[in-house]
Homo-oligomer: A and B are copies of this chain.
Amino acid sequence: MNNREIVVTEVALRDGSHAVNHSFTIEQVSRVVKALDDANVPFIEVSHGDGLGGSSIQYGFSNTNEMELIEAAVDAAENSAISVLLLPGIGTVEQLKEAHKLGAKMVRVATHVTEADVSKQHISLGKELGMETVGFLMMSHMVPAEKLLEQALLMESYGADTVYVVDSAGALLPHEVKERIKLLKSNLKVDIGFHAHNNLSLAMANTLAAIEEGATRIDGSVRCLGAGAGNTQTEVLVSVLERMNITTGIDVYKMMDLAEELVAPILQEPQEITKGSLVLGYAGVYSSFLLHAYRAAEKYHLDPRDILIELGNRKVVGGQEDMIIDVASELAGYKIS
């Protein structure tokens, strides 16, 4: 990590899993990891989109067992460290041990922004195993900065080496990112990270805002291969930071080349900001709500956006999909009355 002011974690092979219906192959992972390693990317995350153990009827089955993908990634990397994502409740302690045994060097333990307390066991295990261990606070836009700090402090107390502010819905505005990173930076001893989504075309703006306030760990997805509208586009981020004289240690030309030659062909569709991804960022809700909201809207003759925005206002979280019908029927009722 020497001489890197900003340490990048490439997430296309994990966050991008959503965008390709969990269809990554061993050959794709090997080739992309080899090229990222050659470009000197320090961390490369490989897991099901929903983390270890995500392959399931609920989150979508992986075409290839993720442990085989992790193994292929470890084999292909000479210097890059392979990272895995783990959501307590989805991934298990056993799966983390297995990934570690295969050679994964970093684990990112991800919880909803209000549920850091469920990360204790897994963060502790990561440390015990000698892995670099990150706390990953998802849907960080849903709580005020003070609440976020409280949760980040919990993760720090469990032993996390880094705590990430994760803008899962791509809903944060730059001033909101600044406020959050600044508060964490001045109250935590560990490193601060930031993970963006581009639903509001703000991934780069928010990433620069986070760096300005002291975040040193940044996620990107090459060619924007991530869920929703994708993340901060890695090869573009590296180019921008180079123009700003901020070192990432990553070879700009090699990143541009591998994006075009290796990653673009993997995308099922070019990444753009569609109506669906925009609405999610605008409403600040989980992508899993989209289809449910459209169905409920049809049933109750509503605009699905009104439902999504109301869900966002009520801070409905993943797992509460049954609320969607309640909200729709209420909205329909208001309209009649």
A residues in contact (CB < 8 Å) with B: 173-174, 198, 200-205, 208, 223-224, 232-233, 235-237, 239-240, 242-244, 252-253, 256-257, 259-260, 264, 269-275, 278-279, 281-282, 303, 305
Contacts and interface: CB of A to CB of B under 8 A. Distances in A.
B273 A272 contact: no
Given A233-B273, A270-B269, A244 B278 contact: no
Contacts of A232: 201
B233 A257 contact: no
A291 B30 CA distance: 32
29 contacts: A173-B240, A173-B244, A174-B205, A198-B201, A200-B204, A200-B236, A200-B240, A200-B243, A201-B203, A201-B204, A201-B233, A201-B237, A201-B240, A204-B204, A205-B205, A205-B208, A224-B273, A235-B275, A236-B273, A236-B278, A239-B282, A252-B282, A253-B303, A253-B305, A257-B275, A259-B275, A260-B274, A260-B275, A270-B271
A39 to B, nearest CB: 14
A229 to B, nearest CB: 9
Copies in the complex: 2
A239 B239 CA distance: 27
Contact of A272 (B201, B208, B224, B256): B224
A235 B278 contact: yes
B200 A202 contact: no
Contact of A205 (B204, B260, B264, B279): B204
A274 to B, nearest CB: 7
Given A203-B201, A259-B275, A173 B270 contact: no
Contacts of A205: 174, 202, 204-205, 208
A178 B278 CA distance: 26
A212 to B, nearest CB: 10
A252 B275 CA distance: 11
A206 to B, nearest CB: 8
